[in-house]
Amino acid sequence: MTKIASFAMMMLLALGVSASAAEKLSLDQISGYLNDMTTARGEFTQINADQTISTGTIYIKRPGRIRFEYNPPEQTLVMAGGSQVAIFDGKSANNPDQYPLRRTPLNLLLERNVDLAKRDMVVGHEFDGTATFVRAQDPENPQYGSIQLVFTDSPTQLRQWIITDEIGSETTVILGQLEMDIPLGARLFSIPQEAENWN
């Protein structure tokens, strides 16, 4: 088991995930869970491609919006809104860097109607006795990379994801307990408004 896999498993156990009653989730169950997710907020731990670890708060507002606020000493903010992904870097004089959301694997998580069972996007669907793993990529643009989502059941919960980019580098995001269906203002996901205030 890799260091990343070991760390991720320890995090799942710390969240109180029990293997005794776990069952494999169907693609329909997972799609329904994602489609029912309107808003969410929680803490996250990110394992970067260079094995460094970052932490912060994540905000999700489906469809199409997400925000990663990184804790100090990180000087980074990543957000998606208006079909764009923006990366704000406190060490850069040119903010933000932007590119289309559809060119990232996160688009599969944030799209309006998720139907994993009927689209040719799932390239892996496994169960390890504790969690269900679903690996997906854009079938028309596999060069954009892939995302592996990890879910537990009773009730269904998204626990982590691993994004593999176009050159094979992996970034793992491990989620804490998510607060669901909470009010999240549009400003959190407005790239133009964030750019006005970014120092």
What residues does each domain of the chain span? Answer: 3-13+21-197
Asked if residue 170 lies in contact with residue 46, where contact means CB atoms within 8 angstroms, the answer is no
Q: Is the pLDDT of residue 163 over 90?
A: yes
User: 16 versus 64: which is more confidently predicted?
Assistant: 64
Q: The dihedral of CA 56, 34, 29, 103: what is its sign?
A: negative
The CATH fold of domain 3-13+21-197: outer membrane lipoprotein receptor (LolB), chain A (2.50.20)
pLDDT at 199 (0 to 100): 63
75 phi/psi in degrees, rounded to 5: -120, 55
Q: Is the pLDDT of residue 21 over 70?
A: no
Q: pTM (2 decimals)?
A: 0.86
**d(Cα 115, Cα 158) in Å, to the nearest integer?**
16
Instruction: Identify residue 29 by its one-letter amino acid code.
Output: Q
The three-state secondary structure class of 148 is strand
CB proximity list for 6: less than 8 A, separation 6 or greater:
none
Structure token pair of residue 30: 């997972």
User: 43 versus 196: which is more confidently predicted?
Assistant: 43
